[in-house]
Amino acid sequence: MREIEYDKMVETVKNLAIESNSYLSEEMYRALEEALEREKSPVGREVLKQILENDKIARNELIPMCQDTGVAVMFVEVGEDVRIKGGHLKDALIEGVRKGYVEGYLRKSVVKDPLRRVNTGDNTPPVIHFDIVPGDKLKIMFEPKGGGSENMSKAVVLPPSAGIEGVKKFIIDTVTDAGGNPCPPIIVGVGIGGDFEMSAILAKKSLFRKVGERHPDPFYAQLELELLEEINKIGIGPMGLGGMTTALDVHIEYYPCHIASIPVAVNIQCHANRHRTAIL
């Protein structure tokens, strides 16, 4: 049995919280730069230039790319041969978020109760999805999820008769209805299958895939490209001001489902596309 110190876990999560809010991934820089080269709208080009400049300032000065530093979402893969020494795993994850948001001076965006709206003051509790896997490693995938993009996400359970065209229509309609609200150019995360909540989890997890990285199944890889092309024909453009760059990518994940249903969820991510991963 391999042991990981509680304090090391806390420090790792703290750093993930701060760094994910400040550092844009290299593939996102490239995707935005390539979008700038393709974009024909003068306003769209100017917006993309400002986004890139903003992200460079955030990285150089270690400050948030966006004032909305999000709800902390984590996908945690726990090896069967791992234990946390000196405390509990979930407690370490929560404490790491608390320290990251307090010590990193990140905005506190979590309320204790959805209806009574009292702020917790330290951005806890996070949303955590656990998975038990073979081995002696612990993998933490950290994503600060902002309200602007999350609010534009939708889930539905379609009948099998809707078929692939019904699924595509739901995805495109969701992006169209979102307009400029999720701060495009966006990443469109799609979950298909499982059940109602599983499709939403799949959609959220798909956002961790690198921009430009296609699904390993050629059928879904082709569907991602088709959807990306159709979405960019809508004309929403960077920050909703018009142009051909509404989305930088579409990521699909799927899971087996009941014969009577096609669960589909769309989880939209803003142009910051913040996420970071650590393996202990």
Q: 67: pLDDT confidence band, cut at 50, 70 and 90?
A: very high
What are the distances in angstroms from CA 267 to CA 9, 142, 180, 190? 28, 16, 15, 6
pLDDT at position 270 is: 96
Average pLDDT, rounded, for the chain? 97
Residues 152 and 141 in one domain: no
Asked if residue 60 is part of any domain, the answer here is no
Asked if residue 29 is part of any domain, the answer here is no
Residues 141 and 209 in one domain: no
Residues 125 and 171 in one domain: no
Asked if residue 176 is part of any domain, the answer here is yes
Q: Which helix (H) or strand (E) holds 129?
A: strand 127-133
Question: Residue 239 carries which DSSP code?
Answer: G
Q: What is the domain count for the chain?
A: 2
Contacts of 58 (CB under 8 A, 6+ apart): 22, 23, 24, 64, 65
pLDDT tens for each residue of 184-204 = 999 999 999 999 999 999 999
Residues 195 and 224 in one domain: yes
pLDDT tens for each residue of 14-23 = 999 999 999 9
Asked if residue 154 is part of any domain, the answer here is yes
Among candidate residues 121, 145, 169, the one where a domain is terminated:
145
Q: Which helix (H) or strand (E) holds 160?
A: none
Residues 6 and 132 in one domain: yes
Q: 233: pLDDT confidence band, cut at 50, 70 and 90?
A: very high
Asked if residue 223 is part of any domain, the answer here is yes
Gap between the Cα atoms of 74 and 87, Å rounded: 19
Asked if residue 45 is part of any domain, the answer here is no
Gap between the Cα atoms of 40 and 235, Å rounded: 11
Residues 138 and 213 in one domain: no
Residues 217 and 163 in one domain: yes
What are the distances in angstroms from CA 30 to CA 24, 186, 189, 211? 10, 14, 19, 9
Gap between the Cα atoms of 194 and 202, Å rounded: 9
Residues 129 and 160 in one domain: no
Q: Are the C-beta atoms of 207 and 275 separated by less than 8 Å?
A: yes
Contacts of 44 (CB under 8 A, 6+ apart): 237, 238, 241, 242, 243, 244, 245
Among candidate residues 145, 177, 193, the one where a domain is terminated:
145
Residues 8 and 125 in one domain: yes
pLDDT tens for each residue of 50-59 = 999 999 999 9
Q: How many CB atoms lie within 10 A of CB 219?
A: 11
Question: Residue 1 carries which DSSP code?
Answer: -
Residues 267 and 187 in one domain: yes
Q: How many CB atoms lie within 10 A of CB 54?
A: 15
Tokens encoding 237: 């453009």
pLDDT tens for each residue of 129-171 = 999 999 999 999 999 999 999 999 999 999 999 999 999 999 9
Question: Residue 73 carries which DSSP code?
Answer: E
Sheet containing 138-145, strands listed edge to edge, beginning at the edge strand earlier in sequence: 127-133, 71-79, 138-145, 276-279
pLDDT tens for each residue of 81-139 = 999 999 999 999 999 999 999 999 999 999 999 999 999 999 999 999 999 999 999 99
pLDDT tens for each residue of 216-226 = 999 999 999 99
Q: Which residue reads 């950290």 in tokens?
A: 142
Residues 255 and 129 in one domain: no
Asked if residue 36 is part of any domain, the answer here is no
Domain that holds residue 266: 148-273
Among candidate residues 110, 127, 145, the one where a domain is terminated:
145
Asked if residue 37 is part of any domain, the answer here is no
Question: What's the CATH code of the domain at 81?
Answer: 3.30.360
Question: Residue 238 carries which DSSP code?
Answer: G
Residues 167 and 135 in one domain: no
Question: Residue 255 carries which DSSP code?
Answer: E
